[in-house]
Amino acid sequence: MHTKSIISFTLVALAQQALARPHCKSPANGKAIYMISNEQKNAVLALPIGKNGLFTPGTATLTETGGAGMSGVDGDAGKPAGPDALFSQSSVTIAGNNLFAVNPGSNTVSMFAISRQDPTKLTLVGKPVAVPAEFPVTVAASEQNKLVCVGSSGAVAGVSCSKFSAQGIEEMDDLRVFDIGQTTPPVGPKGTVSHVFFSEDESTVFTTVKGDPAKNKTGFLAAFPVGPSDCDSGASVSQDGMRSTPAGTVVLFGSSTIPGSDNLFVTDASFGGAVLTNGERSDEAASKAFSVKAKSAVDGQSATCWVAISPATKTAFVTDVGVNRLVEMSLEDASIKKVIDLSANGDPGLIDLRAAGHLVYALSPGNGTTPPAVTVVSAVTKKQVQHLQLEGINFGKNAQGMALLM
């Protein structure tokens, strides 16, 4: 009997191990998330993520960027915009152990070193570096190429890039100008720069720009190739890019590369989300033009603008500043897989978001009345697992961006 019970116990243990194996391979949790306050004295808010993927209340730290925040003008209301003060995705980003944040009110970009011991400990590297444009709203960085690129949405708009090293960011290069006819601060969200991001292999810098049909401004996706790296001067980003205006898109907003594919998942504030492809054209000249592979309207949206892809479900999660929910969409055909209603937590809507492990982290800056919060949702169970309100700090409806440290 005794032996038998040991054997059956062993069998049960093996069976459990077998069942648990996919779990062992499940993607790792992040270590911390970062957002900018975009207040007059701009600062980065760091929130450490525990081993279980959740936040511990009271552990947030604010670190000044040395630059200033500024809000765009809400074109409908005719007053400072917020939440979504910058009309952008990714106003803060990470490459390796460095964090980069834009300063929309002082036309600079700041670089920090993230402490390896404590991810909430940020040390400014050098001084904030001037961007040759106005109202910088989005930043991308490539660890492989040691390049940082900033997109600006003001009266002088476009993309400028630079090299970075442990000593900081070098002088930014000449602006790749976008003729969006804006002011500083810009009147949006239509007709502004949305999101700068690198391709998965870090060989291309993409930028989405929103159209404004009432002003005859056509939105586009710009693609600038990264030049070869040579030992003396390193990689640089080409001044000449390629623009696509995929038929069926109007107000291109936050985007994401799709892991293991050259396709992109884009949000479009005018209808929902789309998968873009550049693989279905054979002629050389057109081979880099993107077209819509599939798209879906998100019913009941106010504006679908931000996206993150979950490594656990290999699906896109999109947010809307005016509707408090996550909408899960397919990376193949942009079909809607799930609508996760979060209205019970009282937030007005969600903006920037990131995914790691089986969790999705989404920022609600609040609206001046409701406090800011980060909502954590399981991509697998489609349930809210934490709602962390951020009160008593200088961080509120102007806040924007989210970067995640792995």
Please state, as a whole number, how many other Cβ atoms lie within 10 Å of the Cβ of residue 73. Answer: 17
Nearer to ligand NAG, 219 or 357 (CB): 219
Nearer to ligand NAG, 5 or 216 (CB): 216
- In the complex, the smallest distance separating the C-beta of residue 283 from ligand NAG, rounded to whole angstroms, is 30
- In the complex, the smallest distance separating the C-beta of residue 215 from ligand NAG, rounded to whole angstroms, is 5
Cα–Cα distance list, 21 to 17, 18, 25, 53, 359 (Å): 6, 5, 7, 19, 19
- In the complex, the smallest distance separating the C-beta of residue 10 from ligand NAG, rounded to whole angstroms, is 55
- In the complex, the smallest distance separating the C-beta of residue 347 from ligand NAG, rounded to whole angstroms, is 7
Nearer to ligand NAG, 117 or 369 (CB): 369
The binding site for ligand NAG (CB under 6 A) comprises 215-216, 346, 348, 367-370
Nearer to ligand NAG, 39 or 202 (CB): 39
CA pair distance 191, 214, nearest whole angstrom: 10
Nearer to ligand NAG, 57 or 368 (CB): 368
Nearer to ligand NAG, 212 or 328 (CB): 212
- In the complex, the smallest distance separating the C-beta of residue 375 from ligand NAG, rounded to whole angstroms, is 13
- In the complex, the smallest distance separating the C-beta of residue 322 from ligand NAG, rounded to whole angstroms, is 9
